[in-house]
Structure 1
Amino acid sequence: MAGLTVAALAAVGFLAYQASANVPADLAAKPSATPSGPATPAPAPGGGTKAADPLALPEESGTGMRVVYALGARRVWLVAANGTVARTFEVMPSTVHPKPGTYAVTTRSGSVAGSDGVRIEHVVRFARVDGVTIGFSAAVDGSMASPDPTRKTGGIRMKRADGDALWTFAAVNSKVVVVP
């Protein structure tokens, strides 16, 4: 049992290192994704207040290793067991949305046709709403177009590199936290 724990921690550490090594220079130069200042915004020059960091991990997103999906921000965070953000990226939501809450990855598929007919890869499914399966995926052609609003689809699309990272990070039973 101890050997499995050590192996799991080593794998998570390696994945976190690998993800941080692949962060684009413009993201790496920004402050930490975890806020470290006061809970209220600091006054900005000229009397206003600073806007919250849009890349900051949502405060009410749980603990431990998890995938965090913010519906309003259209953003995903991959969070290591120690609470550090290994990667964050924008996504294109589907037409059917999961309710805020905690889920677990149920199934994964390497490559399939999406419900919209687009060829997708690295499908990571975690919820079902009104008969529609919800999951993360990347279009093989790299597109992240808005879904057809007249169709019920559950694919949350991302860039291929982000899909690769999520695929490596989120195995079956991994925690997915959806926040507003």
Structure 2
Amino acid sequence: MPVPARRLPSWAWVTGLTAAALVLVAVLAVKAGDGPQPTASASEKTSSPSASPKPSASPDESAPVAVPDGSGTGRRIVYSLAQKRVWLVDASDAPRRTFKVWQGTVSPDPGTYTVGTRRETGTGSDGVEIENIVYFALASGTDVAFSNALDGSSPPPPASGATTGGVRMKAADGDAVWKFGTAGTTVAVVK
């Protein structure tokens, strides 16, 4: 004798479809968070433009800071030595993020470089544990790389005569450079 088919109650269907939709939304949200983010420039405040190792803010940090002329075109990282600032520029030449940085004791000459080696973590030449290390140049025999301290701190003043090539930044900026600066990415260094 054949057994009649049983039907699921409507609440079971609604619960199952709702759970599947929530899982799909969560997966899409995670994937959307993996790409370059169109965030505004970071707002930083300092009390004075002193000679401290911390980045100093411009008079009006809320105003957009233009990508320097002569930094090339297309998708690239732009690093201004004079402004102590980095821009992440997309393929349409629109800046997606800009922020102040702390420079090492040596800097590369202005020019165009390419991201080569990348390391998730390591120890900087100043002995600080760092992450998001993106190497792009060699200056005076010292590797130059973007990075951030694991503990989020600014770099200590270098020891007298020490040679450091790290271009340090805040942790959120380091994460952004890590995601944006894949191997082969152009780095334009300007004055």
Q: Is TM > 0.5 for Structure 1 vs Structure 2? A: yes
Matched residues in 1 for 2:85 and 2:123: separation? Answer: 23
Matched residues in 1 for 2:78 and 2:166: separation? Answer: 16
Give the residue type in structure 1 aligned to 2:35.
L
What residue number does 2:168 align with? 157
What are structure 1's unaligned runs of at least 5 residues?
1-10, 28-52
What residue number does 1:103 align with? 113
What residue number does 1:93 align with? 103
Q: Normalising by structure 1, report the TM-score.
A: 0.72
Question: Which structure has the greater CA radius of gyration?
Answer: 2
* 1:179 lines up with 2:190 in the alignment: yes
Aligned residues: 140
Taking a change above 3 Å as real, the CA distance of residues 25 and 66 of structure 1, as seen in their structure-2 partners, is closer
State the secondary structure of the residue aligned to 1:125. Answer: strand
Runs of 4+ in 1 over 3 A off after TM superposition: 23-27
What are structure 2's unaligned runs of at least 5 residues?
1-30, 45-62
CA offsets, 1:16-46, max 9 Å, x none? 4x232xx37969xxxxxxxxxxxxxxxxxxx
Residues 42 and 99 of structure 2 are in contact (CA less than 8 Å); yes or no, is this contact kept in structure 1?
Answer: no
* 1:71 lines up with 2:91 in the alignment: no
Taking a change above 3 Å as real, the CA distance of residues 92 and 113 of structure 1, as seen in their structure-2 partners, is same
Q: Normalising by structure 2, report the TM-score.
A: 0.68
Residues 120 and 140 of structure 1 are in contact (CA less than 8 Å); yes or no, is this contact kept in structure 2?
Answer: yes
What residue number does 1:42 align with? none
Q: Percent same amino acid at aligned positions?
A: 48
Taking a change above 3 Å as real, the CA distance of residues 15 and 131 of structure 1, as seen in their structure-2 partners, is same
Q: CA RMSD in A?
A: 2.1
CA offsets, 1:122-174, max 9 Å, x none? 00000011210001000011112354152001000000000000000010110
State the secondary structure of the residue aligned to 2:35. Answer: helix
